[in-house]
Copies of this chain bind each other. A is one copy, B any other.
């Protein structure tokens, strides 16, 4: 499958779910554009599009918490990506391993 075939939104962006390849933990959520995906595939490290800074953002360049791509999957509609990664250190800017550390409802059994 060609990156050109991916369905991006009106901003040229596609959602990326980032999952720890070792234990299946969902680490974070980000946005990519085609340029960031090309850089990711060329270099093996996750590169996103920062909507707040409006620039390419290679995860770990300032935090040292790089993400090494293990597998990149696309969903049935070709408009969402799932990146399975080796995460160095914390995925979250708060220092937490995962950005999803607050429970709103239910029980954390099995997480």
Contact = CB atoms under 8 A, between A and B. Distances in A.
Interface of A: 1, 15, 17, 19, 21-26, 28-29, 41, 69-77, 80-82, 84, 92-94, 96, 99-111
Number of copies: 2
Contacts of A108: 71
A81 B92 CA distance: 15
A71 to B, nearest CB: 4
A27 to B, nearest CB: 10
A74 B41 CA distance: 29
Nearest to A20: B24
Contacts of A75: 28-29, 92, 99-100, 102
A29 B17 contact: yes
Given A24-B25, A29-B15, A99 B76 contact: yes
Nearest to A30: B80
Contacts of A99: 75-77, 80
A45 to B, nearest CB: 12
